[in-house]
Structure 1
Amino acid sequence: MKLLIVIDSLGGGGAERSTQVLCEYLDKKGVSFEIVCLYFYPNGFHQEMIDKGYKITFLEKKSFFGQSMEIGEIISKGKFDLVHSILFKSNLRTRFAKTFTRFTHLESLVNTTYSKERKFDNKVNQNLLAIYKMVDKYTAKVFVDHFHSITNSVKNHYVEHLKINPKDITVVYRGREKLELDLDIRGKRDPNKFVLLNVARQDYQKGQIFLLQAMKKLKELGRTDIKLINIGVEGSETANLNRYVKDHNLNSTVEFAGFSNNVAEYFSIADVFIFSSLFEGLGGALIEAQSAGLPIITNDIEVLREVVQKDLNGLLVNIKETDQVVDAIIRLRESPELRKNFEKESLKNYQNKFKQETSNRNMLELYKRLC
C-alpha cells in the first residue's frame, strides 16, 4: 500500500499533531507514505518529521487551482493507492485534483465547520461561507470516495449540513500517546498557586477571550493565587488577547507561552486543564490532558460532552457566562478531593476511548479496506 497524506500545514494544531502521531505509527508498520503540505509555517512539527526521514512536499503554487493541479501531478506521478486529505482547504483542493487524475480519496472531517457559532466571528465573511458550503456540499458527493470523522458529533454535523450518507462516514477517534508528567516538577508545585492550563491556537474558535474575562473577575475577587497559562501558536485573536491582558493589568496572572514541543513540562505544573472552544471536532489537547490525569473544565457543547464525562472527570460550563467559569475554577481550587477523583476518571476515560494504539490501528484498517 502506498499512501499520500494532504494537509494544510504541519503547524502546531490538533489535526497536525494527530497527523504526526499517525505517521509515526505507519512508519513503524512499514507503510509507504508521503505528505503534501499546502503551506509552510516556521512553528510546528514538520522539522521533527523531516528528521525522521519522512518525505514532505511543500507546494510551490498558492492559488486554489494552482495547488489543485500540483496535487494532481504529484498523485499521477506517485501512483498512490489511496489519498487521504485532512482539513478544509486540503479537502477542497484534493477533490478538484480529481479533474486532473484518478485516485481513491479518503477525506477527514475534523471540525464542525458550519456551526452557528461562526456567525459571531467578525473575521468570517458569512456570504463567502455560504458559497463555500454550497461548493462543499456538491463536490463532497461527486469527488470523495469515503469520509473519516473524528467524532460522532462531527459525523452528525456533516450528515445534517452536507447530506452525506452516514454509511459513507467511518468514525475513528483521534488518539494520543499517554503523556508522562515530570514528577519532579509536579512535586515542587507551589501549594499557594493554582495553575490553569489551556492549549490551543489563538483564534476566535478557541474562545480564550472568555477565559481572560474569568481571570479579570477572579482578580476583582482577590484571587491572585490563580494563574492561567496558554500554549499555542499566534492567530487571528492574538492582538485582541494581548490588548485585553494589558488593558486589565492581567500580566501577573495570565501567560501566553507560545508554541512548545515540550508540553509535558506545562502539564506537569498544571492543576486543571481548561478548554474554552466555541466549536470543535474533538479537541486533541483534551485527550492529552486526560492522559495526563488532569481534572477538566470545558465548554458545554455536544462534541465536548462526547470527549469529557460531565461531573465525573470534568465540569462543563457555558464558557461565555463568566460567573459559571469562575465558580467552576474556585470549586476545583477549593476541593482537593474532587480534583483527585477527577484525575482518576480522566485517566480511565483516556484508556477506554483515546489510546493512541487503538486509534492508529483503526485508521490503518480503514486504509486497507479502502485500498
Structure 2
Amino acid sequence: MKILFVIDSLGGGGAERSTQVLCDYLHEHNVDFKIVCLYFYPDGFHQEMIDKGYDIRFLKEKSFLGQTKEIVGIIKEGDYDIVHSILFKSNLRTRFAKLFTKFQHLESLVNTTYSEERKLDKKVNQNLLSLYKVLDKYSAKLFVDHFHSITNTVKKHYIDHLGLNSKKITVVYRGRKPIKLGTVRKKSSPEFILLNVARQDYQKGQIFLLQAMNELKAQNEKNIKLIILGVEGSVTSTLKDYVKQKELQNMVNFAGFSNNVEKYFSEADVFTFSSLFEGLGGALIEAQSAGLPIIANDLEVLREVAVDNKNAIFVDIKDSSSVAQAILKLKNSSLLRSEFSQNSFENYDEKFREEVSNRGMLKLYKELC
C-alpha cells in the first residue's frame, strides 16, 4: 500500500497534528507514504517529521493551477493507491487534479466550515465563502471517491450543507498520544492555571476567555492565570490590545507555539476550550489524556468529545459571567477537580487513544484499495 497525503501545511494546528500522529503509526507498520504541503510555515511539526526520515515535499508553485499540476506530476510519478487530502485548499487542488490523471481520492472533513457562527467573522468575505460553498458542493460530488469525517457532527454538517451521500462518508475520530499516563498534577506554581491551546483566530474564541478574566479581575479574584498556547493568527493583535487595555498582563500569558506541550498540560489546573465552531478539537482530546477538567463552549460537536457534568462544564462562551462562574466552581472545589480529572482520562482512554483511530484509518485505506 502506498499513500500520498496532500495538506495545506504542517503548521501547528489540529489537522496537522493528527497527520503527524497518523504518519507515525503508518511508519511503524511499514506503510509507504509521502506528504505534499502546499506551503511552508516556520512553526509546526515539519522539522520533527523530517528528522524521522519522512518524505515531505513543499510545492514550488504558488498559484492554484500551478499547484494542481505539480500535484498531478507527483501522483503520476508515485503510483499511489490512495491520495488523501486534508484541509480545504488541498482538497480543492486534489479534486481538480482528477482533470489530468486518475487516482483514488480520499478526503478528510475536519471542520463545520459553513457554521452560522462563521458569518460573524468580519475577516471572512461572505460573498467569497458563498462562492466557495457552491464550488465545494459540486466538485466534491464530481471528484471525491470517499470522505473521512472526524466526527458525526461534521458528517451531518456536510450532508446538510453540501448534500453529500452518507454512504460515502466514514467517521473515524482523531486519536492522540497521551500527554501523560495517569492524572497526577505536577504543579510548580501556586497560581490556579487555565490553559487554552489553539491558534489565535476568530474561530477559537479566545477573546471571550479574556473577557471572563476581566470579570474575575473585577471580582478581585487573585492567583488565576490564563495561558494561551499556540501560533499567532488573525486576531493576535486584538487579543493583546484587549489585555493591555484591561490591564490583564499579570493574569494572561501568550506563550506562543511550543513542541513541549507536556510542560503546560502538567502545570495546568483546568483546560478551557472556547472555539465558536469546530470539527472535533484535537487539543481537547490531549487535555483529557492529561487528566484535566474541562470548561468548553456548548457546541454539539464538543459534546461528542467531552461529557457534561462528568469531566466538563459546558458554557455559553460569550457570557463572561457564566464562564467566570465555571472557573470559580472548579477553582473552589479540589474534590470536583479530582473527580473531573479522573473522568477525563477515562473518557480519553475509552474513545480517543491513537491506536483506535489509527487502526480505523488503516482499515479504511485497505477497504478503499
For the superposition of Structure 1 and Structure 2, which TM-score range results when normalised by the shorter chain?
Answer: over 0.9
The alpha-carbon deviation at position 338 of structure 1 amounts to 0.7
The alpha-carbon deviation at position 288 of structure 1 amounts to 0.4
The alignment of Structure 1 onto Structure 2 pairs a total of residues equal to 369
**Residue equivalent to 1:333:** 331
- Are the aligned partners of 2:187 and 2:268 in contact in 1 as well (CA < 8 Å)? no
* Aligned structure 1 segments of 4 or more residues deviating by more than 3 angstroms: 181-185
- Are the aligned partners of 2:183 and 2:290 in contact in 1 as well (CA < 8 Å)? no
- Are the aligned partners of 2:13 and 2:199 in contact in 1 as well (CA < 8 Å)? yes
**Residue equivalent to 1:85:** 85
**Residue equivalent to 2:124:** 124
> Residues 174-204 of structure 1, C-alpha deviation per residue, up to 9 Å, x if partnerless?
00111117999815342xx200000000000
Secondary structure at the aligned position of 1:302 is classed as coil
The alpha-carbon deviation at position 79 of structure 1 amounts to 0.9
The 10-residue stretch of structure 1 (275-284 or 217-226) with the greater mean CA deviation from structure 2: 217-226
**1:210-249 paired onto structure 2 within 5 Å:** 210-249=208-247
> Residues 86-114 of structure 1, C-alpha deviation per residue, up to 9 Å, x if partnerless?
01111011001111111000000000000
Matched AA of 2:108 = S
Q: Which of 331, 336, 360 is residue 358 of structure 2 equivalent to? A: 360
Matched AA of 1:278 = L
- Are the aligned partners of 1:109 and 1:155 in contact in 2 as well (CA < 8 Å)? yes
The alpha-carbon deviation at position 140 of structure 1 amounts to 0.4
**1:143-222 paired onto structure 2 within 5 Å:** 143-180=143-180, 186-190=186-190, 193-222=191-220
Matched AA of 1:78 = G
Question: Structure 1 pair 21/52, CA: closer, same or farther in 2 (3 Å)?
Answer: same
Secondary structure at the aligned position of 1:244 is classed as helix
- Are the aligned partners of 2:271 and 2:293 in contact in 1 as well (CA < 8 Å)? yes
**Residue equivalent to 2:103:** 103
TM (normalized to structure 2)?
A: 0.98
Which whole-Å CA distance do the structure 2 matches of 1:298 and 1:132 have between them?
30
Which whole-Å CA distance do the structure 2 matches of 1:365 and 1:31 have between them?
12
Which whole-Å CA distance do the structure 2 matches of 1:275 and 1:27 have between them?
31
Q: Which of 248, 261, 264 is residue 263 of structure 1 equivalent to? A: 261
- Are the aligned partners of 2:14 and 2:282 in contact in 1 as well (CA < 8 Å)? yes
**Residue equivalent to 2:309:** 311
Matched AA of 2:201 = D
Which whole-Å CA distance do the structure 1 matches of 2:160 and 2:244 have between them?
42
Which whole-Å CA distance do the structure 2 matches of 1:34 and 1:264 have between them?
28
> Residues 60-104 of structure 1, C-alpha deviation per residue, up to 9 Å, x if partnerless?
111111111111111011111100000111101100111111100
Alpha carbon RMSD of aligned pairs, Å? 1.2
Secondary structure at the aligned position of 1:369 is classed as helix
- Are the aligned partners of 2:181 and 2:289 in contact in 1 as well (CA < 8 Å)? no
Secondary structure at the aligned position of 1:195 is classed as strand
- Are the aligned partners of 2:147 and 2:168 in contact in 1 as well (CA < 8 Å)? yes
Matched AA of 1:82 = I
Which whole-Å CA distance do the structure 2 matches of 1:337 and 1:148 have between them?
40
Which whole-Å CA distance do the structure 2 matches of 1:239 and 1:146 have between them?
40
Which whole-Å CA distance do the structure 1 matches of 2:127 and 2:64 have between them?
19
What are structure 2's unaligned runs of at least 5 residues? none
TM (normalized to structure 1)?
A: 0.98
Question: Structure 1 pair 131/17, CA: closer, same or farther in 2 (3 Å)?
Answer: same
Which whole-Å CA distance do the structure 2 matches of 1:320 and 1:183 have between them?
30
Report the identity percentage: 67
Matched AA of 2:178 = K
Which whole-Å CA distance do the structure 2 matches of 1:225 and 1:182 have between them?
26
Matched AA of 1:248 = K
Which whole-Å CA distance do the structure 2 matches of 1:136 and 1:97 have between them?
15
Which whole-Å CA distance do the structure 2 matches of 1:183 and 1:212 have between them?
27
- Are the aligned partners of 1:148 and 1:169 in contact in 2 as well (CA < 8 Å)? yes
The answer to whether structure 1 residue 278 and structure 2 residue 267 are counterparts is no
Matched AA of 2:11 = G
Matched AA of 1:312 = K
Which whole-Å CA distance do the structure 2 matches of 1:77 and 1:282 have between them?
34
> Residues 12-67 of structure 1, C-alpha deviation per residue, up to 9 Å, x if partnerless?
00000000000000000000000000000000000010111111010111111111
